């Protein structure tokens, strides 16, 4: 199929060339940037799946705060920690909007959830509800038994593969695990029993489709009057179909939870899960949500939690394993640390890792180094200015798109020695953390829009990686040595494109270790 960009370029070329030569001088008060064509701006120079890398290259020419034009939309690109601090902290209030994009609008039920909502009272209230009820650190501890159980299930499966010397596809194993964990947190069920397995597969299929569409390029977002190109490419019907299927799925689950005669299934927990908590709040007239909490709000929040909870943690865990496979010394060191610490206990105890900052410092450094080198959202989530503002001598208009290039910031040679190296030791004697206060390391963003799932995400990655390292030694199967680092799957979260195929060798046998 013809690329949408080529199509726009072809259709607007004569007009663009005419105006290119006769255009007025660019507004000098706006940050510098490459010359843009009328209508398409700089779109013809960019390839969206690797946008962070191209913007990083442009920042070397135009500086840490530069501008580009994406179609008709002005866009600001932030590429060092000093500018990131200005945008995410000093001017957070002006920069904490999100743009209204076609796929995001549709999939988020018209932006009534957290991630794609404009900055408004409803966003504040929903984010607060989610943090208070299921994303704060005590809720993260409450769900630790779920993570522990499900990780054990994965370890048992890999152990069987190890015994039969077969190869493990770590991408699939980890993605299915994070999806099971978040399903149990969201719905109170893993859907992994015989009756539920079809539901589990259906859910993951729907999520894969949505997360790919959220990262897809839509002409309408940048050149609205040429949005018909998206229709021609079948993108509208794809989006509509995908939304309808997902809505139907979520509505079925809401209906099940509303049914007073519902028989709880064997794999259902008693504790409050996201859906039951939200349904209770819906009926609570005292709650302080600015308007009525509707079923659409509930489904939209579930969508955020399911996507947020499935992909970023899975991508980070897989990238961590890929990085360790390429760095055998780091692999040996981290395995030794985890096995020395938990060997006598016979299992990896999540509570010990989470409750004590000094426990497993090298494992924690490996995870930080992974999030530094391969942040799963390299440009965070796109922001938009809420109002006009000034940064130094530059004037930024309201409704300017903003990319904070975390990927570039986290490889800035002025901050990081040998930035391309995977070198976890750099964090052992450094106080730099990813909690949004140190602008050199912002894989979770910062400010009002910081990721509310930070604690849950880190706890999930830690327990997955620690268990994989504790129970197995790992080998790269012959012919599968390609551990490419920069190749990513299309989608809003950057996951490893080619599956990470590894051969596990049982180091301990489950059950044997305690004897
Ligand atoms: C390693 C794991 C994770 C990483 C690296 C990550 C990263 C991010 C980033 C970069 C943002 C955008 C921040 C910004 O614009 O400044 C974000 C937002 C968000 N994340 Fe995460 N995330 C992770 C896990 C999770 C989990 C487990 C959940 C929920 C269960 C979650 C839910 C969200 C939501 C709802 C937002 C939108 C926040 C807002 O717009 O106010 N994330 N995340």
Dihedrals phi, psi of 245, to nearest 5 degrees? -65, -40
> If you average pLDDT over residues 315-332, what whole number do you get?
97
Distance from the alpha carbon of residue 461 to the mean position of ligand 1, in angstroms: 14
Which of 26-30, 87-91, 155-159 shows the lowest per-residue confidence on average (mean pLDDT)?
Answer: 26-30
Give tens-digit pLDDT for 167-193. 999 999 999 999 999 999 999 988 877
- Please name which of 133, 410, 82, 494 lies closest in space to residue 284, comparing C-alpha atoms: 133
**CA–CA separation, 430 and 327 (whole Å):** 21
Q: Is 134 exposed, middle or buried (0-12, 13-18, 19+ CB in 10 A)?
A: buried
**CA–CA separation, 260 and 320 (whole Å):** 44
Q: Which residue has the higher pLDDT, 428 or 490?
A: 428
Query: What per-residue confidence (pLDDT) applies to 423?
Result: 98
pLDDT band at 225 (very low <50, low <70, confident <90, very high): very high
Dihedrals phi, psi of 432, to nearest 5 degrees? -65, 130
The binding site comprises 451
Q: Where are the beta strands (DSSP E) in 92-142?
A: none
Q: Evaluate whether 40 touches 75 at the Cβ level (below 8 Å).
A: no
Q: In whole angstroms, how far apart are CA 318 and each of 66, 259, 477, 496? A: 33, 39, 16, 7
Query: What per-residue confidence (pLDDT) applies to 243?
Result: 97
Q: Would you say residue 514 has pLDDT above 60?
A: no
Q: Would you say residue 2 has pLDDT above 60?
A: no
Pocket of ligand 1 (CB under 6 A): 114-115, 127, 304-305, 308-309, 312-313, 316, 376-377, 380-381, 443-446, 449-453, 456-457, 461
Q: Evaluate whether 299 touches 108 at the Cβ level (below 8 Å).
A: no
Instruction: Say what the ipTM of the complex is.
Output: 0.99
Q: Would you say residue 475 has pLDDT above 60?
A: yes
- Please name which of 415, 422, 461 lies closest in space to residue 438, comparing C-alpha atoms: 415
The model's pTM is 0.94
Q: Would you say residue 353 has pLDDT above 70?
A: yes
Tell me what the pLDDT averaged over the chain comes to.
91
Query: What per-residue confidence (pLDDT) applies to 260?
Result: 82
Q: Evaluate whether 186 touches 273 at the Cβ level (below 8 Å).
A: yes
Share of the chain above pLDDT 90, in %: 79
Q: Evaluate whether 420 touches 91 at the Cβ level (below 8 Å).
A: no
Give tens-digit pLDDT for 195-219. 678 888 999 999 999 999 999 999 9
Distance from the alpha carbon of residue 400 to the mean position of ligand 1, in angstroms: 22
Q: Would you say residue 515 has pLDDT above 50?
A: no
Scan for tokens 């994009």, then name that residue.
101
What stretch of H or E contains 177?
helix 170-187
- 417 CB neighbour count, 10 Å cutoff: 8
Q: Evaluate whether 220 touches 104 at the Cβ level (below 8 Å).
A: no
Query: What per-residue confidence (pLDDT) applies to 48?
Result: 83
> If you average pLDDT over residues 372-391, what whole number do you get?
97
* CATH architecture designation of domain 29-506: Orthogonal Bundle (1.10)
Q: In whole angstroms, how far apart are CA 101 and each of 59, 111, 222, 348? A: 25, 10, 9, 43
DSSP string, 315-336: HHHHHHHHHHHH-HHHHHHHHH
The count of C-alpha atoms lying within 13 angstroms of the C-alpha of 378, restricted to the half-sphere facing its C-beta, is: 23
pLDDT band at 288 (very low <50, low <70, confident <90, very high): low
> If you average pLDDT over residues 415-434, what whole number do you get?
97
> If you average pLDDT over residues 60-71, what whole number do you get?
97
Distance from the alpha carbon of residue 451 to the mean position of ligand 1, in angstroms: 4
Q: Would you say residue 257 has pLDDT above 90?
A: yes
Dihedrals phi, psi of 293, to nearest 5 degrees? -80, 115
Domain layout of the chain by residue ranges = 29-506
- Ligand 1 pocket test, candidate residues 451, 458, 460, 462, most atoms within 8 A of CB: 451
**CA–CA separation, 413 and 269 (whole Å):** 49
Distance from the alpha carbon of residue 319 to the mean position of ligand 1, in angstroms: 17
């Amino acid at each position: 199929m013809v690329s949408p960009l080529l199509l726009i370029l072809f259709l607007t070329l004569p007009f663009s060339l005419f105006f290119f030569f006769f255009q007025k001088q660019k507004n000098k008060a706006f940050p510098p940037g490459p010359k843009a064509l009328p209508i398409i701006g700089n779109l013809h120079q960019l390839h969206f799946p690797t946008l962070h890398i191209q913007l990083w290259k442009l920042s070397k020419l135009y500086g840490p705060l530069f501008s580009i034009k994406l179609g008709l939309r002005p866009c600001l690109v932030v590429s060092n920690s000093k500018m990131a601090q200005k945008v995410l902290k000093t001017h957070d209030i002006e920069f904490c909007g999100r743009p209204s994009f076609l796929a995001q609008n549709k999939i988020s039920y018209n932006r009534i959830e957290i991630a794609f909502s404009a900055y408004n009272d409803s966003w504040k209230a929903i984010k607060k509800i989610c943090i208070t009820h299921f994303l704060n650190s005590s809720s993260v501890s409450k769900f630790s038994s779920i993570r522990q159980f499900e990780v054990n299930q994965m370890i048992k499966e890999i152990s069987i593969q190890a015994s039969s010397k077969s190869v493990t596809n770590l991408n699939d194993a980890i993605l299915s695990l994070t999806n099971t964990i978040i399903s149990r947190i969201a719905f109170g069920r893993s859907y992994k029993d015989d009756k539920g397995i079809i539901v589990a597969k259906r859910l993951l299929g729907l999520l894969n489709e949505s997360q790919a569409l959220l990262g897809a390029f839509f002409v309408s977002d940048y050149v609205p009057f040429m949005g018909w190109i998206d229709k021609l490419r079948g993108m509208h019907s794809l989006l509509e179909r995908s939304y309808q299927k997902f809505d139907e799925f979520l509505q079925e689950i809401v209906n099940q939870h509303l049914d007073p005669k519902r028989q709880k299934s064997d794999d259902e927990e008693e504790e409050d899960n996201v859906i039951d908590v939200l349904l209770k709040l819906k009926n609570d007239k005292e709650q302080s949500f600015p308007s009525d909490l509707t079923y659409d709000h509930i489904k939209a929040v579930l969508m955020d939690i399911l996507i947020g909870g499935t992909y970023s943690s899975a991508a980070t865990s897989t990238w961590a394993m890929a990085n360790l496979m390429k760095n055998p010394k780091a692999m040996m060191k981290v395995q030794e640390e985890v096995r020395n610490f938990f060997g006598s206990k016979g299992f990896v105890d999540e509570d010990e890792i989470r409750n004590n900052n000094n426990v497993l410092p090298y494992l924690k450094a490996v995870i930080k180094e992974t999030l530094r080198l391969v942040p799963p959202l390299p440009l965070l989530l796109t922001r938009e200015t809420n109002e006009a503002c000034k940064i130094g001598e530059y004037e930024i208009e309201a409704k300017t798109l903003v990319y904070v290039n975390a990927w570039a910031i986290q490889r800035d040679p002025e901050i990081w020695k040998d930035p391309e190296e995977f070198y976890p030791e750099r964090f052992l004697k450094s106080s730099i953390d990813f909690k949004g206060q140190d602008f050199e390391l912002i894989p979770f963003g910062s400010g009002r829009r910081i990721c509310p799932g930070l604690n849950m995400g880190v706890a999930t990655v830690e327990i997955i990686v620690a268990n994989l390292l504790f129970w197995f030694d790992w080998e790269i199967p012959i012919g599968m040595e390609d551990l490419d680092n920069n190749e990513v799957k299309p989608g809003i979260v950057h996951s490893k494109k080619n599956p990470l195929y590894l051969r596990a060798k049982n180091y301990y046998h489950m059950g044997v270790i305690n004897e």
